[in-house]
Amino acid sequence: MIVMVAALEGLKPGAYVQRAGYEAAVRQHRGERFDSGVVSELIKELREARRVMTNIGGNLNDVAKAANSTGEIENPVAAETVLRLVRNVVRSADETITKVRARLVA
């Protein structure tokens, strides 16, 4: 699990563990406790965002294949739909990051 999460963070496992340990020590020193319900809710939101991004990636790949084979986008409405989905997911990710900061870090 640590190796997988560290890779998602762009860190080596040892660096990830070191950072996580430091952050845990700081929270404990401050007397902070995380509400497991809040954490579970945020994880659920992040998993859903990841699922949506995976689906969008498949759609974007289809649009790119078509554009690469013909030199133009044959269905601009589909391309605009994919771009709108990407914008929505990015906005949702930004909102989730704000929630994480407000509920767990601040």
Regarding pTM above 0.75, the answer is: no
Phi-psi category of 73—alpha, beta or left, where left has phi over 0 and alpha has psi -120 to 50?
Answer: beta
Q: What is the pLDDT of residues 8-18, one digit of tens each?
A: 888 898 998 99
8 and 45 co-located in one domain: no
Half-sphere exposure of 50 (CA within 13 A, CB side): 7
Q: What is the pLDDT of residues 13-50, one digit of tens each?
A: 899 899 988 888 887 888 877 777 777 888 888 888 88
Residues 99-105 have a mean pLDDT of 73
104 and 91 co-located in one domain: yes
Half-sphere exposure of 25 (CA within 13 A, CB side): 6
Average pLDDT in the chain: 82
- Do the Cβ atoms of 2 and 14 come closer than 8 Å? no
Task: For residue 90, give the nearest of 71, 61, 82 by alpha carbon.
Answer: 82
Is the C-alpha dihedral spanning 32, 106, 41, 21 positive or negative? negative
Task: For residue 82, give the nearest of 54, 50, 56, 51 by alpha carbon.
Answer: 56
28 and 39 co-located in one domain: no
Task: State the pLDDT at residue 98.
Answer: 81
27 and 52 co-located in one domain: no
Cα distances (angstroms) measured from residue 84 to each of 22, 70, 80: 39, 23, 6
Give the DSSP letter of residue 33: -
Which domain does 54 fall in, by range?
34-106
